[in-house]
Amino acid sequence: MICARVIGGSHSGDVVYIPRMNLIPSGANVSVTFERRQFPLVLSFAMTINKSQGHTLSRVSLYLPRPVFTHGQLYVAVSWVSSRSGLKVLITDDNGEPSTSTVNVVYQEVFQKI
Amino acid sequence: MPHAHILLWLGEKDKLDSISSIDSVISAELPDPTLYPKLYSAVTGFMVHGPCGFARPNSPCMKDRRCSKFFPKKFVSRTSFDEGGYPIYRRRDLGIVAMKKDIRLDNRSVVPYNPTLVMKYQAHVNIEFCNKSNCIKYLFKYITKGVDRVTATVEAVGQGDVDEIQQYYDCRYLSPCESIWRIFAFDIHSRYPPVQRLTFHLNGKQRVIFDDDADLEDVVAFNQERNTMFLAWMDSNKESEIGRSLTYPQYPSMFVFNDRNRTWQPRQRGISVGRLTFVPPSNRELYYLRLLLNVQVGCTSFEDIHTVDGVVFETYQEAYGALGLLADDRQFIIGINEVAADSSGGSVRKIFANLLMCSSLADPFRAWEMTWEALADGILYHRQRILNLPGWCMEKCHCPDLIYNLFIVLCLYLLFAFIDISILIILVDLIISDEDLKELCLVEIDKLLRLNGKTLDDYESMSKLSSVVSKVFDSVLLANELAYDQNEMLTMHGHYFSNLNEGQLSSYDQIVHSVENNSGGMFFVYGYGGTGKTYLWNALSFRFRSEGKIVINVASSGIASLLLPGGRTAHSQFAIPLVLVEDSCCLIEKNGKKAQLLTMASLIIWDEAPMINRLAFEAFDRTMRDVMNNFIDGALDLPFGGKTIVFGGDFRQILLVVPKGSRADVVHSTINSSPLWSCCKVLRLTQNMRLQGLGDAHETQMLREFAAWILNIGDGKAGDIGDGEAVVEIPNDLLVENSGDPIGDIVRATYPDLIENMADHQYFRDRAVLAPTLDLVEKVNDYVMGLIPGDEKEYLSADSVCKCDDDIGLDHRWITTEFLNDIKCSGMPNHRLILKIGVPVMLLWNVDQASGLCNGTCFDCCLSCKKCDMCKGDWWQPQR
């Protein structure tokens, strides 16, 4: 069992016990269906942009050694913060050199049907 | 026609690892004839397939009236991969055509090519990308398959001597590539990296080789002195300190086994990979020894191998189990008892309920039988305390929570049945029997399950509740939704309503109007972050709940559902199937409890709708029409059976993930591509609430500009506008200064004075480094983990193959535990999870939504409670 304390949200501060659980991956990128018994936890100093959707974050650093690859990722990454000072961005190009621009992906046709 | 199939392996640096890099090498489009006339003529001359099909049915590629090479292909705007992992190259409809045999052919008929190669060789050079193991298998077959021709001679049988050399010549067939290979005298086989097979054995059971006529005493004497590779590893550990951090399979990376003097010696050069020889699981002890050798480091004796955390176990199997690597229930039972030692029965029951819900227990009944005493902890005490309180009336004594009270009002006859039990309990209270205590404990567990929409009855092997008690709880779903305090709701509503802005108020009025007139309708509240969608949901929920009506709040993701008043995920609340097809329905019984709740609901709110496949909404729509048809005539023809349903979301955000899906697949799966969308009324929220109430005019202006910049990114209006992708310039003040160590820079910018702030509960609350891919995230996490002082604790997972129909044809014996352990995928923790005290972690699974434990919930963690005193120490105290 791992003992942990909730950070943020309406249950903030609650102390909970988390047992190992039998987890079956839902992604299609695995060639065998298997089951893993593990604590359903991952370190959260850093997280993927997709995972961050729904979190309330006020200090976000965006690390882009490669550009985003799907609709809305850049927007989600920058839109959590409410003030300019809460956002930091670090971009490097293919050769690891610092860069000041990155690629934004937006599927315009999604907006046309609204 | 002479031709060659050539397989090129690209070096690590040149790997085509992104769509854009594939596009830069392989093209399946006609070049622009005005810009590249020479290339255009080469491509039209060599690289256009056909014409075939209707235009030319006698084309050699036609088999059964179809092109065997599947030309013409479809137009696609972006390179992607199909389900089998084969690439689908970009073929845009650019209007460029080529004439061939008087037939116009466009990008759909272009055979993938590389411009440089076509120009250089002026020949048909088809180039294909393959990075999947199954494609490679196919390619090997392709390039090595021979020509269908043999040279044969006819000889009479049984005459003269047999010329063996001649026979050999006749039988041996060399494929073209093998002949070339041999002519150039290249190595016929090589191996990289070299693999060292590692032998091992149980204590005193090493294999010994001796001659038939050898003297057995000599054999024993000789072998007693002689080390095996395995024993030599233990000896080496005794002497050399540097290898003690390595497992036996890792040992060859730093040591070389010298066969002559049978010792391991420090490696001077080169590398080698160690592999343990295979042992079938039927050979039990040896099998578990093998598994332990993958984990244990620095062993100097057999005893060390079956020692875990200082405890010497009798067998290798037990030791393996103690590492938490055996998928039986033992660790759960131990865990429950451990937690019970220093916390209340309530939290232990929660753990048990969670384990049931995620079906982690192999044998729930046995686990219950072994832990029920721990689980029942506190129940008796609770009863006694209630009884000792003077002046309490009987109902209150035994109906301490809302659910009981509610049912006293709702169904009187059940109340009488309940009082019978109450009296019984009062009479026998202090000498309560085990059976009764078990029953009470099960009732408590059942309550926890029901908060998450499950009941004990869902678990067949568990003990059942006696019928009287269970009936009382039957409609708990409904009861939960009706349990709101109407007065409190009214006050809350008053507060929220008075602060609604213009846009919110207009949306609010339309929705309320639709509910009050029972006119039904589908709404979509469209607004970006900060326009107050959640605020509107709250106002609506409080309003109807204050009138004793039911409002069902759901969200597409667990973490978003936590922000809603009484929110759940849509999947759990509506029992939406995980695998969706065009005619899916929700798994709701028409006359069941869920259906009852849905029919009684006045309003359904569904937030973050663009994150779910439209098939989910359509399945829910189908179910609602069916359910409502019992109550409303013509409900079958009304969207959502005539209920008022409000969706919310922002199409600028990341849409749903379609595995291996193309841009068109994603757009087509979004809610506004659904046929239902035509009856949806879109309500827009445009006022940014974050900009309100700021005193300083300059500050407000700054914020306004920043918010506009963010919106431009969301709308795709920032930077140069291309089809889908645009390069955006990031303002200088947002950029982190890059000192050549990007990960270090970004971590320092996000977590200034990390070590000093570790103890602050609020510090990790709302900061994070974000990155597009999982491997980048892992790199950053590993880096920060390295900075944090303190002992790390390693948790290994137990992985096993699911025996399901999907993998028919796959021999499970091929799959070793090491292979499964190496698999990393999103949404799944790694085999090796390393934690330190106080580090922030995130949950990857919806464990217990009622307690706020959702996929995405963040924690800071203290490790195994029994062993550390953290819970009582400073770290655990709430920080202010």
The residue among B801 and B76 whose pLDDT is bigger is B76
pLDDT score of B402 more than 50: no
Name every chain B residue with its beta carbon within 8 A of the beta carbon of A34: 799-802, 820, 823
Residue found by looking up tokens 């409900």 in the block:
B635
Give the mean model confidence (pLDDT) for residues B829-834: 88
Q: What are the beta bridge partners of residue A42? A: B842
The residue among B722 and B613 whose pLDDT is bigger is B613
Q: Could you tell me the pLDDT band of residue B135, with boundaries at 50, 70 and 90?
A: low
Statement to judge: residues B97 and B71 lie in one domain:
yes
Statement to judge: residues B719 and B792 lie in one domain:
no
Residue B24 lies in a domain: yes
Statement to judge: residues B466 and B506 lie in one domain:
no
Give the chain B residue whose CA is nearest to the CA of A32.
Answer: B807
Nearest-by-Cβ selection for B559 from A54, A58, A66 = A54
Give the mean model confidence (pLDDT) for residues B399-414: 41
pLDDT digits (tens, 9 = 90+) for B755-800: 888 777 778 878 889 999 888 999 999 999 888 887 888 888 888 7
Residue found by looking up tokens 């309530």 in the block:
B346
pLDDT digits (tens, 9 = 90+) for B500-550: 888 899 999 999 999 998 888 899 999 887 788 889 999 999 999 998 888
Nearest-by-Cβ selection for B729 from A3, A20, A101 = A101
Which of B325, B859, B863, B871 is the best substitution to test chain A (most A C-beta atoms within 10 A)?
B859
pLDDT score of B424 more than 50: no
Span of B67-71, B487-491, B635-639, B873-877 with lowest mean pLDDT: B873-877
B773·A79 Cβ contact <8 A:
no
Statement to judge: residues B534 and B640 lie in one domain:
yes
Give the pLDDT of residue B732: 86
Q: What are the beta bridge partners of residue B508? A: none
Name every chain B residue with its beta carbon within 8 A of the beta carbon of A38: 795, 797-798, 829-831, 833
Task: Report yes or no: B746 and A63 within 8 Å, Cβ to Cβ.
Answer: yes
Statement to judge: residues B274 and B395 lie in one domain:
no
User: Both ends of chain A: CA-CA distance in Å?
Assistant: 48
Residues 70-89, chain A, touching B (beta carbon < 8 A): 70-80, 82-84, 87-89
Statement to judge: residues B620 and B706 lie in one domain:
no
pLDDT score of B417 more than 60: no
Give the mean model confidence (pLDDT) for residues A26-40: 72
Statement to judge: residues B527 and B675 lie in one domain:
yes
Query: CA of B213: how far to CAs of B208, B210, B219, B574, B661, in Å?
Result: 14, 8, 11, 77, 70
Which of A78-82, B250-254, B278-282 has maximum average pLDDT?
B250-254
Give the mean model confidence (pLDDT) for residues B834-838: 84
pLDDT score of B677 more than 50: yes
Give me the interface pTM, i.e. the ipTM.
0.93
B842·A44 Cβ contact <8 A:
yes
* Amino acid letter for position B140: F
Residue B475 lies in a domain: yes
b vs e for B768-801, b when ≥16 Cβ sit within 10 Å of the residue's Cβ? bbbbbbbebbbbbbebbeeeeeeeebebbbbbbb
Residue B81: helix, strand or coil by DSSP? strand
DSSP string, B747-778: HHHHSTTHHHHTT-TTTTTTEEEEESSHHHHH
Classify the phi-psi angles of B310: left when phi > 0, otherwise alpha if psi is within -120 to 50, otherwise beta.
left
Residue B179 lies in a domain: no
Which of A33-47, B171-185, B795-809 has maximum average pLDDT?
A33-47
pLDDT score of B416 more than 50: no
Residue B498 lies in a domain: yes
Range of the domain at B112: 12-144
pLDDT digits (tens, 9 = 90+) for B15-41: 887 888 889 999 999 999 999 999 999
Residue B180 lies in a domain: no
The domain boundary, picked from B691, B715, B744, lies at: B691
Q: Which helix (H) or strand (E) holds B543?
A: helix B533-546
Give the chain A residue whose CA is nearest to the CA of B763.
Answer: A7
Q: Name every residue whose Cβ is closer than 8 Å to that of residue B244 and which is 6 or more positions away in sequence.
A: B237, B297, B298
Q: Please give the model's pTM, rounded to 2 decimal places.
A: 0.67
pLDDT score of B390 more than 50: no
d(CA B539, CA B562): 16
Statement to judge: residues B527 and B595 lie in one domain:
yes
The residue among B381 and B293 whose pLDDT is bigger is B293
Tally of domains within chain B: 6
pLDDT score of B137 more than 50: yes
d(CA B686, CA B526): 9
Statement to judge: residues B584 and B596 lie in one domain:
yes
The residue among B369 and B411 whose pLDDT is bigger is B369
Give the chain B residue whose CA is nearest to the CA of A36.
Answer: B799
Q: Name every residue whose Cβ is closer than 8 Å to that of residue B834 and which is 6 or more positions away in sequence.
A: B785, B792, B793, B794, B795
Statement to judge: residues B215 and B308 lie in one domain:
yes
Gap from B753 CA to chain A (nearest CA, Å): 14
The domain boundary, picked from B110, B144, B178, lies at: B144
The residue among B159 and A50 whose pLDDT is bigger is A50
Give the mean model confidence (pLDDT) for residues B805-829: 69
pLDDT score of B323 more than 80: no
Give the chain A residue whose CA is nearest to the CA of B788.
Answer: A45
pLDDT score of B196 more than 50: yes
Gap from A55 CA to chain B (nearest CA, Å): 7
d(CA B40, CA B31): 5
Average predicted confidence (pLDDT) for chain B: 79
pLDDT score of B422 more than 60: no
Gap from B690 CA to chain A (nearest CA, Å): 7
Q: Which helix (H) or strand (E) holds A109?
A: helix A108-112
Q: Could you write out the three-class secondary structure of B650-704? A: CCCCCCCCCCCCCHHHHHHCCHHHCHHHHHEEEEECCCCHHHCCCCCHHHHHHHH
Residue B183 lies in a domain: no
Statement to judge: residues B783 and B848 lie in one domain:
yes
The residue among B443 and B289 whose pLDDT is bigger is B289
The residue among B664 and B149 whose pLDDT is bigger is B664
pLDDT score of B870 more than 70: no
Give the chain A residue whose CA is nearest to the CA of B653.
Answer: A72
Residue found by looking up tokens 């219950």 in the block:
B368
* Amino acid letter for position B528: Y
Residue B127 lies in a domain: yes
Q: Number of residue pairs across A and B with CB atoms under 8 Å?
A: 432
DSSP string, B477-534: HHHHHH-S-HHHHHHHHHHHHHT--HHHHHHHHHHHHHHHTT--EEEEEE--TTS-HH
Give the pLDDT of residue B705: 86
| Residue B364, CB-side half-sphere exposure with 13 Å CA sphere | 21
